[in-house]
Structure 1
Amino acid sequence: MVAVPAGVPDVPGIRLTATELMSLRDEAAARMRHRPLTRRAGAVPARLAGAGMDLREIRAYVAGDDPRRMDPAATARTGQPHIRSLHEDRDDTILLVADFRAPMLWGTGAALRSVRAARHLVQAGWPVALRGGSVAALMIAGPRPAEIAGSGGDGPMISLCAALARQHDAALAAPADDVPLAGGMARAMRLSPEGGRILVATGPDGWQGAESVLAALARRRVLTVALILDESEIQPPRGVLGISGGGHSRTARLLAPDLAPGLARLRALGAIAIEVMP
């Protein structure tokens, strides 16, 4: 049994556990078993042509082909120019970036925004691990982000789930609200190889201030920024609300935020911006 840190409520939806993250494995495996490869019967997945090292085919040269790939033997044998077509090399890697800073440690629904962020990340990580790909993690909760180097298979993924749960406990015990995302994201350059995927789970405005590093990452990687939305942002309560604190009180009305400008800005930086609904 894992001890609950002092001050951390052991309540589902507030405390993140490794067990719930590991349970998402079966869900990912089921999706992989039942997902059709294509609508056309009899089709099988194939590797794409590209600039890798493995030979795909030797074929006749056509205008636009790279002459550096000319195959001398086939050209001499047929009397016509032939080139070597190669398979494309693709790294099945993903870096999961969890924003556990103070603005993520709240929620009006069944779970904190940070808990839902971790679940979303792990749901993306398990399929990669089950395919034998590499899954790395970067957890930003304080001035010193925690990281897990990329690896594949069940064992490393289970360790990653446990690390997410530990870091979330630490964030709940000592929330940090003055830590910029950009400082932690700078480590993503080292954890994610060029051509790899990066998935960042943060709040609607959690990415602001990190535009330069996000743009740099998006230039050579597939960067997705998942905005974890709260129920109050989707359907704010109607009517006037009373707010009090520090001996003062006032009334206010909550309005749904306009996310369109932020989504457009992220896409302009080269990122794929998605909204994750409650």
Structure 2
Amino acid sequence: MRDHAARIRTGTAPRTRPTADADMRINVTLAHLRALEGRARSLSFLPRQPARSVLNGRHASRLRGRGLNFEELRNYLPGDDIRAIDWKVTARTGEPHVRVMTEERDRPALIVVDQRMSMFFGSQLNMKSVTAAEAAALAAFRILEQGDRVGGIVFTDSGIVECRPQRSRASLNRFLTVLAGANGDLRADAPTVQPVALTQVLRKVARIAPRDHLVIVLSDFDMVDAETENLVSGLARRNDLILGLVADPFAEDIPGGLKFVASDGELQVEVDTSDRTAHGGLRDMAQGRLAAIIDWQRRFGVPVLPLSAAEETLPQMRRLMGLGPR
């Protein structure tokens, strides 16, 4: 596993890469992810968010952003924000004084992207893995342009690759290269392996981002348990945590009257959704998992961005962040 992760990171792992004329709705290329840079400028991950942004909602924690450093104490001047007045100094001297604060130079960001086989599904537009990859690239470009360090974790069924947050184009390009490579490895005939659990990934996130980071997790949140919830709660207390819940309408509302065969690569089962019991069980299982993740917003104060693989990525991100259509 470790050797495979190292080869992905260095670009030496053998894989079937998408060709230039490949369908970007199924597998993305590095060129496709790089082409998103210009469109990323319409987003913002700074603390001040539009009123309708889910990052500024009633139940979600506001983005704390960069911290503030004390710069100087000086006399009040016309036009100064009265909220900056230091009332203790003002009372002691008899003249109004304000505290001048400067924003810290950067806030490290860590973008965690799920590229497991559970993400290799789409019923209308994109594979969930493509939506997650595009959202990650858009966020990474925008965060770097804001002057913050950006890094990421890309995890697949077979391994986890870390890219430590740095403020450099080379580091961002390395992250996108890893992401495009992992996405290109997803295919219907991929060998069956025991997938990496989300809990294992979040342990690494907690080690890399102990506090005061912006952490964005883009996943369908398959394979979560009680420890996953504990890790999410802990990360939310010490960092600005955003959960991008990537789903497909088929999972949210499984159509009735379908007959299909589901397989994990070794075993298979025939599913008939015209059977009310089978249909109801599948629907309740899928909707229950989505509802449990969305409920983390209420319980832990974590903003959840529900991203659909049935829509283009950027327009729905803009809508969720309270921005109008372009």
State the TM-score bracket (shorter-chain normalisation): 0.7 to 0.9
Q: Quick check: which one's strand share is greater?
A: 1
Quick check: 1:223 aligned with 2:223?
A: no
Runs of 4+ in 1 over 6 A off after TM superposition: 64-67, 244-248
TM-score by length of 1: 0.74
Which residue identity lines up with residue 241 of structure 1 in the other structure? K
Q: Which residue of 2 aligns with 1:239?
A: 257
Q: CA-to-partner distance for each residue in 1:157-176, whole Å, 9 max, x for gaps?
A: 22221111123334555564
Out of 127-136 and 139-148, give the one that drifted further: 139-148
Quick check: 1:162 aligned with 2:174?
A: no
Tell me, yes or no, if the aligned pair for 1:129 and 1:152 is still in contact at 8 Å. Answer: yes
Quick check: 1:257 aligned with 2:287?
A: yes
State the 1:7 CA deviation.
5.8
Which residue identity lines up with residue 291 of structure 2 in the other structure? A
Q: Which residue of 1 aligns with 2:36?
A: 24
Q: Which residue of 2 aligns with 1:45?
A: none
Which residue identity lines up with residue 204 of structure 2 in the other structure? R
Which residue identity lines up with residue 100 of structure 1 in the other structure? Q
Aligned-partner SS, 1:150 = strand
Quick check: 1:272 aligned with 2:272?
A: no
Which residue identity lines up with residue 274 of structure 1 in the other structure? L
Tell me, yes or no, if the aligned pair for 1:53 and 1:89 is still in contact at 8 Å. Answer: no
Any residues of structure 2 matched to 1:44-193 within 5 Å, and which? 51-55=68-72, 57=74, 78=93, 84-89=99-104, 91-142=106-157, 144-170=159-185, 172=187, 173-174=190-191, 176-192=193-209
Q: Which has the larger radius of gyration?
A: 1
> What is the alpha-carbon distance in structure 1 between the residues aligned to residue 203 and residue 87 of structure 2?
36
Aligned-partner SS, 2:162 = strand
**CA 1:174–1:90 in structure 2 vs 1: closer, same or farther (change >3 Å)?**
farther
State the 1:65 CA deviation.
6.3
Tell me, yes or no, if the aligned pair for 2:118 and 2:222 is still in contact at 8 Å. Answer: no
**CA 1:17–1:3 in structure 2 vs 1: closer, same or farther (change >3 Å)?**
farther
Tell me, yes or no, if the aligned pair for 2:242 and 2:302 is still in contact at 8 Å. Answer: yes
Q: CA-to-partner distance for each residue in 1:150-207, whole Å, 9 max, x for gaps?
A: 1224333222211111233345555644321111221213433622211101115454
TM-score by length of 2: 0.64
The higher-RCO structure (CA 8 Å, 6+ apart) is 2
Q: Which residue of 2 aligns with 1:41?
A: none
**CA 1:241–1:49 in structure 2 vs 1: closer, same or farther (change >3 Å)?**
closer
> What is the alpha-carbon distance in structure 2 between the residues aligned to residue 154 and residue 240 of structure 1?
48
**CA 1:267–1:139 in structure 2 vs 1: closer, same or farther (change >3 Å)?**
farther
Which residue identity lines up with residue 21 of structure 1 in the other structure? L
Aligned-partner SS, 1:257 = helix
Select 1:203's aligned residue among 205, 220, 228.
220
Tell me, yes or no, if the aligned pair for 2:73 and 2:97 is still in contact at 8 Å. Answer: no
> What is the alpha-carbon distance in structure 2 between the residues aligned to residue 50 and residue 15 of structure 1?
38
**CA 1:92–1:249 in structure 2 vs 1: closer, same or farther (change >3 Å)?**
closer
> What is the alpha-carbon distance in structure 1 between the residues aligned to residue 40 and residue 271 of structure 2?
47
Q: Which residue of 2 aligns with 1:43?
A: none
Tell me, yes or no, if the aligned pair for 1:49 and 1:87 is still in contact at 8 Å. Answer: no
Q: CA-to-partner distance for each residue in 1:119-170, whole Å, 9 max, x for gaps?
A: 1111111111122211110111145410111122433322221111123334
> What is the alpha-carbon distance in structure 1 between the residues aligned to residue 268 and residue 225 of structure 2?
32
**CA 1:85–1:132 in structure 2 vs 1: closer, same or farther (change >3 Å)?**
closer
State the 1:100 CA deviation.
1.5
Out of 88-97 and 139-148, give the one that drifted further: 88-97
Q: Which residue of 2 aligns with 1:214?
A: 232
**Structure 1 gap segments, 5+ residues each:** 39-47
State the 1:265 CA deviation.
3.1
Tell me, yes or no, if the aligned pair for 2:259 and 2:272 is still in contact at 8 Å. Answer: yes
